[in-house]
Amino acid sequence: MSATAAEMRLHTMDVWVRDAAVLTDADELRTILRDAARVGAATVLDDAFHVFPNGAVTGVLLLAQSHLSIHTWPELALANVDLLTYGAADGEQALTLIEGRLGATRATVSCVVRGRG
């Protein structure tokens, strides 16, 4: 971690999907997040996933550039994705890949600069 505070960004995306089946497929979600980290030039250190009784999935990748998380709501056909990045990581490319692979019908994306106070 050698970036400066000025380079910290939080990317968030709420994404509604065509077919909610992907939102309960933890293995596929892990693959999608790892692929997103790769296209975003982020290095994956570890991950942690949890599947809820209704099939909803919470998953987090620990990155050398911080973290990428997903929380799915199959009953709402909705996923929340958060990516905190530093330095050269490309958050937009990572979120675009996730949006496409989830089969999005609609997405709300934001990017907030962090570490300025």
Residues near a second copy (CB under 8 A): 1, 4-5, 8, 10, 12, 14, 16, 45-48, 50, 52, 54, 56, 58, 60, 62-64, 66-67, 69, 71, 73, 76, 78, 80, 82, 84, 106-108, 110, 112, 114-117
What DSSP state is assigned to residue 41? T
For residue 94, give the amino acid letter: A
CA 47 to chain centre: 12
Q: How far is the CB of 117 from a second copy (least distance, A)?
A: 4
Instruction: Specify the amino acid at residue 19.
Output: D
Minimum CB distance to a second copy smaller for 5 or for 21: 5
CB of 102 to a second copy, least distance (A): 14
Q: Which residue has the tokens 């009953």?
A: 75
Nearer to a second copy, 41 or 49 (CB): 49
Under the phi-then-psi rule, with left for phi > 0, alpha for psi from -120 to 50, and beta for the rest, what region is 20? alpha
Supply the minimum distance, in Å, between the C-beta of residue 80 and a second copy.
6
What are the distances in angstroms from CA 64 to CA 9, 36, 98?
14, 14, 19
CB of 87 vs a second copy, minimal distance in Å: 12
Name the residue nearer to a second copy (CB basis): 18 or 50: 50
- The answer to whether the CB of 115 falls within 8 A of the CB of 51 is no
